Amino acid sequence: MRDLFEIVRNQKPLMLRPTTTVRHAGESMRDRRVGAVLVTDPAHRLVGIFTGRDAVARVLAAGRDPNTTTLADVMTPDPDTIAAGKTAIDALRQMQDGGYRHLPVVAEGKIVGILSKGDFRGDEQERLDEETGIWERI
């Protein structure tokens, strides 16, 4: 079973400040080809997360101007995280239970990466599906 360090070890996650406009965040997400931004304070501590889903639901559908709306206005504050020493199945389980597709990975309070559902291999998803099926039958 892969640990999370194996998945995120070479990542350089997209991190922006809360004062960044949604337009800039969206352009950065497009350019980096990522689905989420980790919103950090000046000390690079995680304060929020902003995803493509947030862009649609909290900006576009709400009629907000992406040129003036900041990430602080529409991010999910204090998102759930997972410790870097956990396994891929732990992360998948947490993502399924929490209903989200992106999960920041931290080690000793520092951001080391971000997971997306697409980061996992089929066998890891199959194991989670098998576990879920067992619990549903109990």
Burial 56-72 (b: 16+ CB within 10 A, else e): eebbeeeeeebeebbbe
Q: Decide: helix, strand or coil at residue 2.
A: coil
Domain ranges of the chain: 4-137
pLDDT per position as a tens digit, 81-130:
999 989 888 999 899 899 999 999 999 889 999 999 888 766 665 665 66
Share of the chain above pLDDT 70, in %: 86
pTM of the full structure:
0.85
What class is the 4-137 domain? alpha beta
Report H helices in 9-117: 22-32, 52-54, 71-74, 88-98
Asked if 118 and 52 touch (Cβ cutoff 8 Å), the reply is: no
